[in-house]
Structure 1
Amino acid sequence: MQQASSHLADRISLISVSSTARVSAEAEKLRRAGVDVVDFGVGEPDFPTPDNIKRAAIAALDQNFTRYTAMPGVQELRQAVVDRHKADYGTSYSVPECVVSVGGKHAIFNMTQALVGDGDEVIIPIPYWVTYYDVVNYAGGKPVLVETSEAEGFALTAAQVEKAITPKTRLMIVNSPCNPSGALVEQAEFEKIAHLAKKRGIWLMTDECYCRFLYDSDPYSVASVPGMKDTVIVAGSLSKTYAMTGWRIGFTLAPAEVCTAIIKLQSHSTSNPTSIAQKGAIEALNGPQDSVDVMLAEYRKRRDYVIGRLRAIPGITCAEPRGAFYAYPNISGALSPNGLRTPMEFAEKLLAEAHVAAVPGEAFGTEKHVRISYATSMENIQKGLDRLESFVKKYSA
């Protein structure tokens, strides 16, 4: 009998395992071996999900809300998403313009699959979240990488975007505040980018995963700009805002025709988001929002400490994050041809020798940085930065 070929489909070679997931796996392997690891690699809140959200999920179980739901999420949740987005950012979406997905990453995957075809160009600013590059490749598109200025805090500008546009440009992806750098696109500049996209007939995807975590300005969505709803697609998530990473609830806000295409795709992949998680999400969006301010205040305190410590280490500089919960230090002063030559080597040895997990900048498109998540306790932050400082001094000696 003839055996099936062992070769995998060609398209799977277009993507790689998430670098952040790989770092987390290596850190977990050391922890299982009994090693005390300080994990700056993980990008999730260290806060528990608020009690009111957990109680809503428990009530859903008690009420046997455990069957299939509508593919794009239950009507009540989709309404809660558009209502919360309107309350926070002044937008005017309707339920047919909303699809709930299995996390924000799923929303982005769905969106690229629905919109990006073979040879379409997609503008992605550097540094970028690891998944953007791979999902564009998987959809058959071509990532067009746009350098931002570290001296300007990695903030994207309309002028930088305009230089990258060609007749093949289909989509641009903007994540503000940004993972990994914490960079923020100012409202006026974001509006310029949106108008540019509309003028050139290009989709603009705004990834709002960290939109509620801003340190020196008010939350803002470019989808609120008048006349932009037919150009802008919002990818949102409850994961960071409400400390619900494991619940896997994200959403897309887009023109109804785009949502219809995404629902079609979702109907053949995940079907509906988890029923119980949807009930928790309704409570998260409709219930008290004070937990967000509590987390933001703690992140601000941690950010100020982390940036101060990093800048005091010889060989390291760091742009100030204006949102999210990451620092993106430039470690080029700690690299050398005869020592640690790349951020990848730096991160590997930092984990192996100092037992501190960080994500190398190569994962985000740069060659002088590592990403440090300060979504962990101050005790861990202090211990981890002590180890990092000793490690850098050892290799600089």
Structure 2
Amino acid sequence: MRFASVTDRLADLGAAKWAVHREARRRVLSGHDIIELAIGEPDTPAPQALIDAAIASLQARRTKYSGGRGETSVLEAIAAKYARRTGRAITTDNAAYMPGTQTALYTVISALAEAGNEVLVGDPLYATYEGVIRASGADMVLVPLDPAKGFHLQAEDLEARITPRSRVLLLNSPHNPTGATLTHDEIAAIVDVCVRHDLWIVSDEVYETMAYGSPFVSPFDMPEAAERTVVVSSISKSHMLPGMRAGWCVGPVDFIERMLPLSEMMLFGGQPFIQDMAAFALSAEFDECAKMVESFRSRAEILPEVLANAPGLRCSKPEGGMFAMVDVTGTGLDGENFAWRLLNEENVAVMPGSSFGQQAAGHIRVSLSADADQLREAAARMVRLAIRLTQGKAA
């Protein structure tokens, strides 16, 4: 039987990248005591007021069809958020509701790139970026992010990889997996390159509220980039609600209008009761969210502290997000082998850096989604493994 070529383009993506995590999950379900630091989701409960709002809306039978763009209430809340942030007139015409950032990414990239085009993205990169780019038919062009420069995207490195086929830069700051948070000057230099080469910027801002070093900066907030930038985001991390799948995209009115038919053919709206909850989330402040950010800010200190004198390991303090990158090359292993040894010998599950691109192949990505005591214990076990490896005593 015949299949569409998109199935071939995506065939080698997905499950293999998560092998360590899946094995750790299997062992946990079999009764093993594993410290799980592979998956990035907040470990603190969502604000009870948001859960109550979703239940109240569901009980009010807000379960009928929704418009393809989204409910008016959530669109108004999204528009108000970006009007406050940018200081510009942002209306509901600039916004579309999506069930999560992943759906927004897929739809936006599909609306901007196709076969024969190129999408530029930093390496390391979030694990699903390659898939959303390949699905569009476009080619992915990797821009190396140098660990010696904190994995910060450099404007000159970006420009060196632009060709006449380049159409889109997929940008992520604060960055998953590295935690790099770009400064205002760095974003401005990247915007300058994109303006001169007429590139769209797709800005994944799911970690907007979790910048610990430099203040969060978005190209969408810069007037010179406003008409070429599309923001994708959600309340998955900011409000500890990853399973609710509530996100959006914001961009130029013309882009939103051109994208909507594509979105509608896939989705034609989300659940109204979840949109009601998302509108409330974006329209109020919640103590639980502020405490969550502070807990991750504090946890970001732990691995660099505990691993400071560990043989063969190096870890810089994350500048944002909910992950830390540990360079394990000094142990003689790459990230893949170190991650498996860490699971098998020390019962700690992390992600091999190679799951996020070749620039991180010598690293492991550690999720900070565990309490301080667990993180310290996991770090101590990393040190134990590193000592055995560097002293040549490993089995």
Q: Per the shorter chain, which TM-score range? A: over 0.9
Residue of structure 2 equivalent to 1:346:
338
- Once the two structures are TM-superposed, the CA of residue 145 in structure 1 deviates from its matched residue by 0.8
TM-score scaled by length of structure 1: 0.93
Structure 2 letter corresponding to 1:14:
R
Cα distance in 2 between the residues matched to 1:232 and 1:163 = 21
Structure 2: gaps spanning 5 or more residues: none
Equivalent residue in structure 2 for 1:143, among 132, 140, 143: 140
Change (3 A) 1:36 1:92: farther
Structure 1: gaps spanning 5 or more residues: none
Q: Deviations over 1:27-61 (max 9, x none)?
A: 22111110111111111111111011111101101
Change (3 A) 1:86 1:311: farther
Counterparts of 1:110-259 in structure 2, within 5 Å, are: 110-259=107-256
Residue of structure 2 equivalent to 1:14:
9
Cα distance in 2 between the residues matched to 1:180 and 1:19 = 17
Is 1:18–1:131's contact at 8 Å kept on the other side of the alignment? no
Equivalent residue in structure 1 for 2:95, among 94, 98, 120: 98
Cα distance in 2 between the residues matched to 1:90 and 1:244 = 28
Is 2:182–2:217's contact at 8 Å kept on the other side of the alignment? no
Q: What SS is found at the alignment partner of 2:327? A: coil
Change (3 A) 1:20 1:299: farther
Equivalent residue in structure 2 for 1:380, among 374, 377, 386: 374
Q: Alignment RMSD, CA only? A: 1.7
Cα distance in 2 between the residues matched to 1:266 and 1:328 = 35
Residue of structure 1 equivalent to 2:80:
83
Q: What SS is found at the alignment partner of 2:225? A: coil
Q: What SS is found at the alignment partner of 1:193? A: helix
- Once the two structures are TM-superposed, the CA of residue 244 in structure 1 deviates from its matched residue by 0.9
- Once the two structures are TM-superposed, the CA of residue 20 in structure 1 deviates from its matched residue by 6.0
Is 2:20–2:339's contact at 8 Å kept on the other side of the alignment? no
Is 1:182–1:327's contact at 8 Å kept on the other side of the alignment? yes
TM-score scaled by length of structure 2: 0.93
- Once the two structures are TM-superposed, the CA of residue 108 in structure 1 deviates from its matched residue by 0.5
Is 1:347–1:370's contact at 8 Å kept on the other side of the alignment? yes
Q: What SS is found at the alignment partner of 2:260? A: helix
- Once the two structures are TM-superposed, the CA of residue 91 in structure 1 deviates from its matched residue by 4.7
Change (3 A) 1:252 1:220: same
- Once the two structures are TM-superposed, the CA of residue 25 in structure 1 deviates from its matched residue by 2.6
Change (3 A) 1:23 1:239: farther
Structure 1 letter corresponding to 2:354:
E
Q: Deviations over 1:92-121 (max 9, x none)?
A: 322111111110011111111111110211
Structure 1 letter corresponding to 2:204:
D
Change (3 A) 1:123 1:238: same
- Once the two structures are TM-superposed, the CA of residue 21 in structure 1 deviates from its matched residue by 4.8
Is 2:121–2:169's contact at 8 Å kept on the other side of the alignment? yes
Structure 2 letter corresponding to 1:291:
E
Q: Deviations over 1:288-309 (max 9, x none)?
A: 2433321121111111112211
Equivalent residue in structure 2 for 1:361, among 339, 353, 358: 353
Equivalent residue in structure 2 for 1:283, among 273, 280, 284: 280
Is 2:168–2:201's contact at 8 Å kept on the other side of the alignment? yes
Determine whether 1:61 maps to 2:58: yes
Structure 2 letter corresponding to 1:360:
P
- Once the two structures are TM-superposed, the CA of residue 194 in structure 1 deviates from its matched residue by 1.3
Which segment drifts farther, 325-334 or 189-198?
189-198
Is 1:52–1:283's contact at 8 Å kept on the other side of the alignment? no
Structure 2 letter corresponding to 1:157:
Q
Q: Deviations over 1:337-376 (max 9, x none)?
A: xxx4x32122123223322111111111132111001121
Residue of structure 2 equivalent to 1:323:
320
Which segment drifts farther, 323-332 or 211-220?
211-220
Structure 2 letter corresponding to 1:165:
I
Cα distance in 2 between the residues matched to 1:203 and 1:286 = 29
- Once the two structures are TM-superposed, the CA of residue 225 in structure 1 deviates from its matched residue by 0.8
Change (3 A) 1:19 1:203: farther
How many positions carry a matched residue from both structures?
A: 387
% same residue = 27
- Once the two structures are TM-superposed, the CA of residue 23 in structure 1 deviates from its matched residue by 4.0
Q: What SS is found at the alignment partner of 1:311? A: coil
Change (3 A) 1:312 1:276: farther
